[in-house]
Homo-oligomer: A and B are copies of this chain.
Amino acid sequence: IRIGGSFKERQSSKNVLSCENRDPRFGHTETDFSNLFARDLLPAKNGEEPTMQFLLEVVDILTNYIRKTFDRSTKVLDFHHPHQLLEGIEGFNLELSDQPESLEQILVDCRDTLKYGVRTGHPRFFNQLSSGLDIIGLAGEWLTSTANTNMFTYEIAPVFVLMEQLTLKKMREIVGWPGGEGDGIFSPGGAISNMYSVMVARYKYYPEVKTKGMSAAPRLILFTSEHSHYSIKKAGAALGFGVENVILLKCDERGRVIPADLEAKIIDAKQKGYVPLFVNATAGSTVYGAFDPINEIADLCEKYNMWLHVDGAWGGGLLMSRKHRHKLSGIERANSVTWNPHKMMGVPLQCSAILVREKGLLQGCNQMCAGYLFQPDKQYDVTYDTGDKAIQCGRHVDIFKFWLMWKAKGTSGFEQHINKCLELSEYLYTKIKNREGYEMVFQGEPQHTNVCFWYLPPSLRGMPDCPERRERLHKVAPKIKAMMMESGTTMVGYQPQGDKVNFFRMVVSNPAATKSDIDFLIEEIERLGQDL
């Protein structure tokens, strides 16, 4: 196979690859973008040349951004308050106008947009479950947006539809469903995937709700733990169950659901004449990274004839690791699984799958048979049209970047990434668990990469637990976080949980992070927090 050679010239010249070290000979581009406008680009007559030059200029901006993102001497962010950005900083004007701006101004806007944003791919960005900037995934996204198509039919997305089908099958195999059988779809995020699970469960047990509404069913109860993601409650509200019919289950001190509490609450609901329908087991909770005991929950679901959903949005990635997948033991007994490759597997946002063990339910639940879209008399096998499974009509192509990453890394590459992230968090845990000024929020080694801890400034150390200490400690993490953001050096999340005051939640999913970045985070917390 032949790989194109058209970039030799610029590749042979270092200046092309670096904004800072430009050869002075190339101080100006031939193209003057100040007299060019969007209307001069393709499909305009003679638009090809300016189009190519404009896109290459954009790529120059993006590659410079990427290079700097991986450079630890770059700040993670350049923080400004909303009013500052709205007032316009150094000419960056967010307001839209009636008349077009030149391509020169558009390029400046692109630079400014990146300048005032947050570098989520920076090795020291730990703020979110999704972090990092995978180059293959990025290339996949660039291609996806160039292809600019829609997942609803094979007709206009033949390759992507097949990639989705094969990838979902592979994911179901990894979950452990025999032969990878079942169904699934990529959805716009874990909350929507979880919503699908509730919809499909309801359709399985009370299909008449689709036609007649919730009044056709008895009072249905959903169970999920007090540490689970709020999207189960959102689904309960949206789908007409009502939040008070989403029963929160107690967790142990590690954030794992207590099966006995589930059984007690099932019995209680039944005694009231309600119908327990659905249990969500969390595989990797948002704050503690806890894994609910799936097998014990599955036993109860079988005993009481309930739907078992596993929310592995965050923890699903651990299935790729032979070392860590035991934490999801029992997942093969689930009726549905949420798994977000855009979190632990480092796929660019968005990429979330809902997997369903029983075939046909997604279609049955959602199909409305719109004749203008899903014509049965097409020349190809229309069972490949996926649109009628979805609650969406148009659906973004989220599969390609993931498929391409899988090709490029192999299953083994994902495994290595996951193992490495878990090792880093173990490193952090080991480093701080007995360190002066730190207190762990829960005892014992974390199950996922979540490490939850309080930093105690010297002024709080040795103070006995009392309302004043709690009140002061509650303010420590927000203060440190605010200073971190203003200095732009690193980012990590914090939150309260139950009766626990604000603590840091460190998570590692960023492939760029190393031990030195973990060390840096700790130094930074101590530097910023020592006088609080």
Contact = CB atoms under 8 A, between A and B. Distances in A.
A72 to B, nearest CB: 10
Interface string A9-49: 11111011101001000111111010001110111000111
A160 B493 CA distance: 20
Given A375-B478, A377-B478, A7 B110 contact: no
Interface string A139-165: 101110111111000111111111100
A116 interface: yes
A532 interface: no
Interface stretch (A211-219, A433-441, A453-461, A462-470): A211-219
A239 B149 CA distance: 28
A158 B108 contact: no
Contact of A9 (B13, B62, B97): B13
A379 B38 contact: no
A472 to B, nearest CB: 13
Q: How many copies does the complex hold?
A: 2
B11 A26 contact: no
B86 A162 contact: yes
Nearest 7 CB-CB pairings of A with B: A240-B240, A213-B242, A141-B145, A379-B482, A43-B512, A372-B495, A188-B188
A43 B495 contact: no
A189 interface: yes
Given A101-B410, A146-B133, A392-B192, A9 B9 contact: yes
A163 B94 contact: yes
Contacts of A9: 9-10, 13, 16, 26
A348 B245 CA distance: 40
Given A156-B127, A209-B240, A493-B372, A8 B37 contact: no
Interface stretch (A263-271, A294-302, A363-371, A521-529): A363-371
A48 B412 CA distance: 23
A136 B41 CA distance: 9
A300 to B, nearest CB: 23
Interface stretch (A118-126, A323-331, A421-429): A118-126
Interface in A185-213: 188-192, 195, 199, 209-213
A38 B135 CA distance: 8
Contacts of A52: 11, 17, 63, 67
Interface in A346-398: 348-350, 365-366, 368-373, 375, 377-381, 384, 390-397
Contacts of A211: 237, 242-244
B199 A238 contact: yes
B230 A368 contact: yes
Contact of A143 (B15, B100, B113): B113
7 contacts: A101-B410, A106-B407, A116-B159, A121-B148, A191-B394, A373-B495, A377-B478
A531 interface: no
A352 B142 CA distance: 20
Given A148-B121, A211-B243, A494-B375, A99 B412 contact: yes
Contact of A394 (B94, B163, B190, B240): B190
A251 interface: no
Given A3-B104, A189-B394, A408-B38, A381 B28 contact: no
B377 A38 contact: no
Contact of A408 (B106, B135, B238, B378): B106
Most chain B CB inside 10 Å of its own CB: which residue of A19, A212, A390: A212
A54 interface: yes
A408 B191 contact: no
A30 B55 contact: no
A443 interface: no
Contacts of A239: 238-240
A241 interface: yes
A232 to B, nearest CB: 9
Most chain B CB inside 10 Å of its own CB: which residue of A6, A86, A99, A147: A6
A411 B59 contact: no
A241 B244 contact: no
Nearest to A483: B379
A6 B404 CA distance: 29
A496 interface: yes
Contacts of A64: 4
A492 to B, nearest CB: 12
A229 interface: yes
